[in-house]
Amino acid sequence: MNSAHESATSVVVTLSGCSREDADAVFRTLGRSFESDRAAGDAPQYVSEGHATVWTTTFDVARIQEDAEPVRLAAPVTAELQGGYWAVDRIQAMLAAAFDLLEEGMAAGDQEKDVQLRLSSGVHQEEI
């Protein structure tokens, strides 16, 4: 990211406490809506089977490419969003359209904020 505008519209999304399939579902959902530093076919992989894994991707939220729809997760996912206030709010709103979310914490700074969320499946049994 070279310009101040690009930096102001970037959000680092870190996922943990989940399977690689659920991490992939979250990243693919966000990737349909926003540009990412991750290639289209790039799926999260375990580095070491059986150990805790954290996946990180940066999204540019300047332009919405596609609105999100409800997405199924096998289990809850912990997501941490870090970036400028407007950018974090924008990506959080997109996540809320796709998943049930609970804000578990927030730290505010001068120019950026850090939000921790718990994402659950946005698709429910009665909707099937």
Average pLDDT value for residue range 109-126? 89
pLDDT value at 85 more than 70: yes
Give whole-number Cα distances, 60 to 11, 65, 78, in Å: 6, 11, 20
The pTM score is 0.85
The answer to whether 119 touches 100, Cβ cutoff 8 Å, is yes
The answer to whether 29 touches 93, Cβ cutoff 8 Å, is no
The predicted structure's pLDDT at residue 37: 84
The predicted structure's pLDDT at residue 44: 59
